[in-house]
Amino acid sequence: MKKTMRRILLEWGIIGSIGLLLYITGMHTQVMGFIQQGILMTGLVRPDLKETDENSKADYGLTLVNSQGERVDMRDFKGKVIFLNFWATWCPPCLAEMPGINKLYNDVKEEDIVFLMVSLDKDFEKARKFKARKDFSFEVYRLAGSLPAQYHSPSIPTTFVISSEGKIVLKHTGMAHYDTERFRQFLSDNT
C-alpha cells in the first residue's frame, strides 16, 4: 500500500512539476494550442455555415493598424468578402486555429477576400513576433480606435465573415477549422 501511494504521489508530483514549468516559462499557451490544433484536425470543430440570425449590415467603422504601423480603414474593403478574426497570443484556441487560417489565406489570397486578423494583445509586438516566428503569410492588425459594438464578443477567438454586399453572413465564437473545401465554397458564394 505504501509503495502504491508513493508511486501515485511521485506521478502527480512529476505531472505538477511539468505543468508548473510550462506555466513559468509561458509555454503552457503554446502546448494547449498544439493540443487543440490536433482536435481541430479531426474535423470535429467546424464553423456553422448557416446564415447568422443577424445577417445585418456590417459596420465598416473599424480602423486598424497593421504590423508595419500603417493605418487601415475597413471601408477600403467594401465590395470584398472580409474574414475578420479577433485573437490574441495568450489564447490557446486562437493559436490552434491559426495554421488552418494561414493555409486558407494562402489558398484564396488571389480572390477578392480580405483577411483581417485583429490581435487583442495589450502589447502588439507579441502578435508581430508570433506571426514572424510561425511564418504566417497573412497580415496582423491591432485596433486603432474603439471596436464597433457589432463586433463585441464575450470570448475569443471570434470570426465574422462579411459578404461582398456588406452583410454579416457568419459569426463564429470559439475555435474552428476553416481550411475546408466547404468553407472555401462558402467564401466564394459570398463574393
> Consecutive sets of 10 residues in the chain, 191 residues long: mean pLDDT of each?
69 69 64 60 58 71 95 95 95 90 91 94 95 95 93 92 94 88 91 82
The CATH number of residue 27's host domain is 3.40.30.10
- Residue 30 is inside which H or E element, if any? helix 28-41
Domains held by the chain: number = 1
Calpha distance 97→28 (Å, rounded): 16
The torsion angles phi and psi of 28, rounded to 5 degrees, stand at -60, -35
User: What is the predicted pLDDT for the residue at 174?
Assistant: 87
Name the pTM for this structure.
0.76
Q: Which domain holds residue 31?
A: 1-191
